[in-house]
Structure 1
Amino acid sequence: SIVAKYLLLLHLFLSRAELGVVYTEGGMVEGQNIRLGYRRHMDVFKGIPFGDIPGRFEKPKPHPGWDGVLKAKEYKPRCLQLNLIMTDTRGSEDCLYLNIWVPHREAVSTNLPVMVWLYGGAFLWGGSMGANFLDNYLYDGQEIADRGDVIVVTLGYRVGALGFLSTGESDLPGNYGLWDQQAAIAWVHRNIRSFGGDPNNITLFGESAGGASVSFQTLTPHNKGMIRRAISQSGVALCPWGVIKNPRRIAEEVALKVDCPTDSRMATCLKMTDPVRLTLAGSVSMENPLLESLVLSAVVDGDFLPDDPSNLYNNTAEIDYIAGVNDMDGHLFTAMDIPSINSMLVDTPIDDLKTLLSSYTKDKGKAGMENAFATYSANWGTNPDRETIKKTAVAIGTDYIFLVPTQAALYLHDKHATTGRTYSYVLSEPNRMGGLVTPYPDWMGADHADDLQYVFGKPFTTPLGYWPRHRDLSRYMIAYWTNFAKTGDPNQGGSAVPAKWPQFQNGGERYLEIRNDMDDSFVHIDMRLRYVYFWTSFLPSLPDPIKSE
């Protein structure tokens, strides 16, 4: 009868696919089930512990577990860290928690690809949920999970002094934040099947210090067999800020700030110091160039990183890898060193560019700076206009801090790959603030962190803040990223893409330029090859200046 049919349809419409209580190694957890549309539900788990409260300057420990059902419905505090203006701290030492988004169609999902997000923030800041504006969290995994039909996991890891302080010795070996990430990856590998995920198809993705973290996690021997694919956005292990060369000097500076001795008693004293004082002592002095201030990051400790990252690429042979940058990634940093580049009405002195270049080439002395300046001013003509000089300043920062090391990482990945595929991109979408408000000039391309909003689907979550073209771009990026997570090929995986993205291969290294109006003509070769050659081959070949006695 019609009534029976109607009741059946009503039942189908109202029935929800949900996981209910999930069994994990620590105990049972219950998340929240949300309805997204007809036959589209999602389970969201927030605040599942993957480690115990970590000991000071120690590797993370397994969580002891819990009785009963853990209600996983709220984000946990971020790890103890400085506030953005570095005058105070926020967060907690009890911070090793992760969040999981599981999409369902008609039935409860099984065997879905898993995407694990590592946040950026210069290894000083950040949280698993990201910045929050009116309860709209930046790293909310819902749009990626729903649009790409993948499980999204975000996690917390220690940052600042508590995450990365090191003496370079076994008493304070460093890399604690990287060990936290590794513990979370291992937890996901062991437990994600209970949430409908495929433990043999885990993709890491991250941006800035998170992109470098992704890179470190693929290079360490401790993740053997756990990572299938990886995406580094604006950051790789080879970036000049990725590994600290002289960690002991930083440890001694922190020790002096918290009244600890700098001799053999230093590590013991630091371990007993109040964590808030330690965190404040790990703040950065805004030096010029700003890059010199980023002093807390990874160290070659003989354990997590047994060797310099450039020598560990054999560990990535079977991992599919995407790495790329934003075309003006360096703007954020260069504008702090040379504020005039943001002013449309003021000239940027050429001497400011030379000062910046000499700080980046200081190992090679005067010859380094002069050759660098000749390389960057080669196509200026006799009388470069104001905009040309400003854009060159941004290009210098972008190349040195992000683009060249990313290209070097792609070369190494491609060279050592057996089954692993390699893909390269540049995002060139103009900044949304460009020309609207200072401090953004109207010639601005994609600044550092501009990619985050598109990858996490913000043009859909907060439509009033964006134009339709931004929704197109967001749709494309989510399609490429989730196709790649499913198949290792960004072009295939069920989501339509606007241009075929070829593999990066030796002999005309190909890359995709990503923008809202892209098509097949956006595939290019040899990204900024002249400048990549300058920084990776020509500059290192110059003789070191003779040390004056």
Structure 2
Amino acid sequence: CLKWPFLCVCLKLGVVNTEGGMVEGKTIRLGLLRTMDVFRGVPFAAVPGRFEKPKPHPGWDGVMKATAFKSRCLQLDITLTNTLGSEDCLYLNIWVPHGSSVSTNLPVMVWIYGGGFLAGASMGANFLDNYLYDGQELADRGNVIVVTLGYRVGSLGFLSTGDSELPGNYGLWDQQAAIAWVHRNIRAFGGDPSNITVFGESAGGASVNFQILTPHNKGLIRRAISQSGVALCPWAVNHNPRKFAEEVALRVNCPTDSRMAACLKMTDPSLLLFPEPIVNNLILSPVIDGDFLPDEPSNLFHNAAEVDYIAGANDMDGHIFTGLDVPSVNNDIVETPIEDVKRLLGALTKEKGQLGLENAYSTYSSDWGSNPSWQKVKQTVVAIETDYIFLIPTQTALYLHAEKATTGRTYSYLFSEPNRMGGLIAPFPIWMGADHADDLQYVFGKPFSTPLGYWPRHRDVSSYMIAYWTNFAKTGDPNSGDLKVPVAWPKFQNTDHKFLEINAKTNSESVNEMLRLRYVHFWASVFPKLPSQRSADALQ
């Protein structure tokens, strides 16, 4: 309650009645006549059965106190030697802002976390009780409801035999169950069920794309934002899931015949999690199961024809991975050999053999001149992985969405605010742009909630992203809403491919078109037409 003489105004939802029962969160005061209700740990499904789709929660008696985050889904810890979390993890968190009256009919933004389909949590990383995915700043500044959800990861979320025994995609079904729960229940929290935006980053960005492509979400999602990840990324779909399922079975002493699925379901879940997938290019990922994904993602964009869509990448998204593949890239006093560049390109183009390598190398070295600087070579290596892993697939997804769209609008961005650690500590060279996940802190308003850790320009970046993102959630147009933006962001159309570059200096000159056209043309047009290695060998 906010009290003045002779007046008491209670700006809170109090007990909210959901389909499973009554829940009560915590009300926090944000300022004069502005409060927020926060609900942590609201169940959206029952404790999931091993390798089964989520089921409705059986409900509860009395009032559930929803004031603490629930456990993350069972996964490996950061050391890759122990596990943390629980199989009882299908919960979501809700932030509801109130102004001079209790909110009604607010737009809803549902966040799907990343983590390579192997790790992650609905609340994100935590430092001194400051959670990365705390929705308070975004909800308050944008005047939207923010929801974050939990979903199964690793083997428990994505292990598949490629058939009906273990069909896979359990984590995607969890996400879908949470979105459907929000659609059915969010009105009781002051939200508009007809205006739901799903947004996410990395594997979460790809998940967002999967959620608008599946036929199972028809009518549930109005808008979507994919940050640094789409369904077309080379790591987003596993086309040979049984091979890894058999490796898991052998590791835990299960047979690899018709008894495999039953045995795996009875195995200690912690034994099903081990670190090999990380070094095997994220092979635990969604599969074409004929159900959630009835076809290749590129053939499903008609399902998103009425969904407004933003997708983009960070300008050095690939840096975090390049440091593993070509370690010298992060050492400014050591040269990166040209042979290392060729080795990396050879690995990415191996299906096309020597011809693929030669074409790729000539494309990426075309602006080097006769004597490229060390920095130029290192930046090229980062660009190669950024293009291949994130940027080119994202551009392809944007093209397909714009091509199939009826009422849905399409927007493209490049995030390029330089990494805050650039030049200060390894492995962040002085020339660093925006690394993978650098955008998260700005979307969730960390420069405002922890101001001592940021400069004023970082608050500018955060205000821009919150404005564009929440305007889009409200209207389907990032320029139109309650918050002012630094420059109008034009739609992406197949005639011009316009995009917005987002950083602290975003202005009228930040609007461009045909992002990295030479490289998009190579990977999307030239490379696929080259004969495969197998075809070339057959001709000899």
- The bucket for the TM-score relative to the shorter chain is over 0.9
Matched, 1:500 2:491: no
Instruction: Report the CA distance between 1:362 and its aligned residue.
Output: 1.1
Query: 2:335 is matched with which residue: 334, 342, 347?
Result: 347
- What is the aligned partner in structure 2 of residue 327 from structure 1? 315
- What is the aligned partner in structure 2 of residue 365 from structure 1? 353
How far apart, CA to CA, are the structure 1 residues paired with 2:125 and 2:27? Answer: 23
> Counterpart of 2:533 in 1: which secondary structure?
coil
How far apart, CA to CA, are the structure 1 residues paired with 2:423 and 2:277? Answer: 31
Matched, 1:410 2:398: yes
- What is the aligned partner in structure 2 of residue 178 from structure 1? 172
How many positions carry a matched residue from both structures?
536
- What is the aligned partner in structure 1 of residue 264 from structure 2? 270
Instruction: Report the CA distance between 1:438 and its aligned residue.
Output: 1.6
Query: 1:17 is matched with which residue: 7, 11, 23?
Result: 11
- What is the aligned partner in structure 2 of residue 187 from structure 1? 181
Q: Which runs of 5+ in 2 are unaligned?
A: none
CA distances 1:197-217 after superposition (whole Å, capped 9, x unpaired): 000000000000000000000
TM-score by length of 1: 0.96
CA contact (8 A) 1:284 1:295 kept: no
How far apart, CA to CA, are the structure 1 residues paired with 2:494 and 2:163? Answer: 39
CA contact (8 A) 1:316 1:413 kept: yes
Alignment map for 1:107-506 (pairs within 5 Å): 107-280=101-274, 283-284=275-276, 287=279, 292-506=280-494
How far apart, CA to CA, are the structure 2 residues paired with 1:10 and 1:433? Answer: 51
Q: Which runs of 5+ in 1 are unaligned?
A: 1-6
Instruction: Report the CA distance between 1:506 and its aligned residue.
Output: 1.5
CA contact (8 A) 1:324 1:426 kept: yes
How far apart, CA to CA, are the structure 1 residues paired with 2:92 and 2:495? Answer: 42
Change (3 A) 1:245 1:522: same
How far apart, CA to CA, are the structure 1 residues paired with 2:314 and 2:242? Answer: 33
Instruction: Report the CA distance between 1:518 and its aligned residue.
Output: 1.1
Q: Once structures 1 and 2 are overlaid, which stretch shifts more, 253-262 or 486-495?
A: 253-262
Quote the sequence identity (%): 71
Instruction: Report the CA distance between 1:11 and its aligned residue.
Output: 5.3
Matched, 1:526 2:514: yes
How far apart, CA to CA, are the structure 1 residues paired with 2:533 and 2:90? Answer: 47
Query: 2:33 is matched with which residue: 33, 39, 49?
Result: 39
How far apart, CA to CA, are the structure 1 residues paired with 2:310 and 2:233? Answer: 16
- What is the aligned partner in structure 2 of residue 3 from structure 1? none
TM-score by length of 2: 0.98
CA distances 1:181-229 after superposition (whole Å, capped 9, x unpaired): 0000000000000000000000000000000000000000000000000
How far apart, CA to CA, are the structure 2 residues paired with 1:240 and 1:546? Answer: 20
CA distances 1:111-156 after superposition (whole Å, capped 9, x unpaired): 0000000000000000000000000000000000000000000010
Counterpart residue type for residue 416 of structure 2? S
Change (3 A) 1:286 1:353: farther
Change (3 A) 1:402 1:66: same
CA contact (8 A) 2:277 2:283 kept: no
How far apart, CA to CA, are the structure 1 residues paired with 2:244 and 2:530? Answer: 29
Change (3 A) 1:58 1:11: farther
> Counterpart of 1:205 in 2: which secondary structure?
strand
CA contact (8 A) 2:409 2:491 kept: yes
Instruction: Report the CA distance between 1:15 and its aligned residue.
Output: 2.2
Query: 1:28 is matched with which residue: 22, 26, 33?
Result: 22
Counterpart residue type for residue 460 of structure 1? F
> Counterpart of 1:348 in 2: which secondary structure?
coil
> Counterpart of 1:34 in 2: which secondary structure?
strand
Instruction: Report the CA distance between 1:285 and its aligned residue.
Output: 5.3
**Aligned-residue RMSD, C-alpha:** 1.2
Counterpart residue type for residue 247 of structure 2? E
Instruction: Report the CA distance between 1:545 and its aligned residue.
Output: 2.0
How far apart, CA to CA, are the structure 1 residues paired with 2:422 and 2:9? Answer: 47
How far apart, CA to CA, are the structure 1 residues paired with 2:287 and 2:524? Answer: 22
CA contact (8 A) 1:321 1:422 kept: yes
- What is the aligned partner in structure 2 of residue 77 from structure 1? 71
